[in-house]
Amino acid sequence: MEHSFSLPNSGHNFDAEASKLGMWLFLFTELLLFGGLFLVYMVYRSLNHEAFIEASHHLNVWAGTTNTIVLLASSLTVAMSITALQQGNKKRSLLLLTITFIAAGVFLVIKYFEWSAKFEHGLFPGMEHYSQLPTGERLYFYLYFFMTGLHGLHVIIGGIFLAVVMVKIKSGKVHKDRISLLENGGLYWHLVDLIWIYLFPLFYLIH
């Protein structure tokens, strides 16, 4: 009599590991992108130190601080959601992901009001008042809008990613035995948080 032997879930485990590896490689390219931008920032800041300090006074430190707290809290809730699903608590995992999703929305709303204030004062690149600023201050605001705007785009993508994960958890496609998609979403969200932790002091706390 012939007997067949197979490792249970071996195919799934391989797919999960490949998925994680792919995510880590993607995150590495993202770190290279922002690392290059941080390097550009540091070079221009060293050449225009006083101008960067002067320009930074136009930013709302309290708004930046609030957004930092919001993102740090959201990283905690997304990590807790992974733990909850690993324990088989689908309801708690979804609740924590919902809180994370709301936190992403709060961050974007605060950033919207921040940007709106800069528009009202003509500090956006290309506007008349911006064109009259000293070169160093123009460089500061150009980097501010570009880098925080790129980060904001990552927040939106991360929010969409987590929303997709929530749908798949509800449908049962992501569960404690198939959790790699949620883990990847958590990794991406931690990257978003990490980038902001660097952006916040570079732009808001120069002085």
What DSSP string runs through 2-37?
------TTHHHHHHHHHHHHHHHHHHHHHHHHHHHH
Structural domains for the chain: 19-204 (1.20.120.80)
pTM for the whole structure: 0.89
**C-beta separation of 185 from 123 below 8 A:** no
Give the contacts of 46 (CB within 8 A, at least 6 positions apart): none
Element (H, E) at 139: helix 135-171
Paired strand residues for 178 = 175
Q: Residues 140, 153: contact at Cβ < 8 Å?
A: no
pLDDT in tens, the chain (207 residues): 444 444 445 555 656 777 788 888 989 999 999 999 999 999 999 999 999 999 999 999 999 999 999 999 999 999 999 999 999 999 999 999 999 999 999 999 999 999 999 999 999 998 999 999 999 999 999 999 999 999 999 999 999 999 999 999 999 999 988 899 999 999 999 999 999 999 999 999 987
The pair of structure tokens assigned to 41 is 């920032």
User: Helix, strand, coil % (nearest 5) of the chain?
Assistant: 80, 0, 15
SS3 87: coil
